[in-house]
Structure 1
Amino acid sequence: MSSVAEPPVPELEPAFEVDAELGPLEDHGQTSVGHRRIIPVVGGTITGMFEGELLAGGADWQVVRADGSIALDARYSARGADGELVFISARGVRSGDPEVLEALLRGEEVDPSRYYFRTAITIESSTRPELEHSIFVGSCIREANRVRYIAYRVT
């Protein structure tokens, strides 16, 4: 008689927090894949299992879907105090009632419980394999000129 093991149930461990400063939205209009917008990352901080500064030069490449929800593809780098670099990729979705999404676009303060904003995060690092050996999920808040999120390591 053989027993079949059950896969472990994932849990979430707080791992790090990001505070990304954003530049002006670049509206590329309707393209073959949808309404393209690009929001530059111009700086910010990361704290927790990796401490550092976000570097200018990254961005969030967005596609606004027909229903108003937004497919997000953010990629940016951070430099630690010791000079170490990490590359962060965060793909996700922001959705909510149209008036809420429009308020966010205008830079208004909106209670984060009124919209859904989550990302799946992966990290590349030449010196921190523990960052590469995990998947992270982010619970995010959009503010006028920044995005803040807490990343949780999926166990």
Structure 2
Amino acid sequence: MLATLPPPQLEHVCDLAVTISAPLEIGQTVAGLRRMIPITGGVVQGPLLNGKVLAGGADFQLILGGGTQAHLDARYVIELDDGTRVFVQNTALRVASLENSQRIMRGEPVNPSDIYFRCQPKLEAAGDTWGWLSESQFIGTGRRAPDGVFLSFYRVV
């Protein structure tokens, strides 16, 4: 018999403030407009994860929809307070009006309530202590600022 299952619950894992440097414009390709945003660092704070974002990652962007959709693929490493390193691959969708999208691309502030920014981070760490990161699904929400990206990650339980 077909029955609707109860919806999953969300458990707040952490908040991230990711610092970035100027975008590297790749240009218009057959797939769309490509950009790469270098990740220069950041902080991670929350009830389940605390540490810092290490420099050296990047956010690879594909801009579609006449400039109103950004398909994001960010890859970076978090170093937790205990020294454990966590690999993060975070895919996201950011949708905004053409005007707000152009503001974001120029590095100007926008009203976060006017932007749809959701993500699906995958987290991996070595060792038993943090094994649950690889055995869980995560979703999140984001906000782009001129000098960085702010994210909140939630574990789907």
TM-score by length of 1: 0.92
Matches within 5 A, 1:1-155: 7-48=5-46, 49-68=48-67, 69-127=69-127, 128-155=130-157
Partner amino acid, structure 2, of 1:61? F
For 2:45 and 2:133, locate their aligned partners in 1 and report how far apart those are by CA, in whole Å. 13
SS of residue matched to 1:82: coil
SS of residue matched to 2:144: strand
Structure 1: segments with no counterpart, 5+ residues: none
- Superimposed CA distance per residue, residues 6-58 of structure 1 (whole angstroms, 9 cap, x where no aligned partner): 53421222111111000110000012322110001000011121111111110
User: How many angstroms does 1:107 deviate by?
Assistant: 2.0
- Superimposed CA distance per residue, residues 45-92 of structure 1 (whole angstroms, 9 cap, x where no aligned partner): 111211111111100000011432110000100112222100011101
For 2:151 and 2:41, locate their aligned partners in 1 and report how far apart those are by CA, in whole Å. 15
For 1:53 and 1:25, locate their aligned partners in 2 and report how far apart those are by CA, in whole Å. 22
Identity of aligned residues (%): 36
User: How many angstroms does 1:147 deviate by?
Assistant: 0.1
Partner amino acid, structure 2, of 1:55? L
For 2:99 and 2:80, locate their aligned partners in 1 and report how far apart those are by CA, in whole Å. 39
Farther-moved stretch of structure 1 (76-85 vs 20-29): 76-85
SS of residue matched to 1:67: helix
For 1:67 and 1:13, locate their aligned partners in 2 and report how far apart those are by CA, in whole Å. 36
TM-score by length of 2: 0.91
- Superimposed CA distance per residue, residues 82-136 of structure 1 (whole angstroms, 9 cap, x where no aligned partner): 2210001110111111001111222222111101111111101113011111111
Partner amino acid, structure 2, of 1:65? L
SS of residue matched to 1:73: strand
- Number of residue equivalences: 153
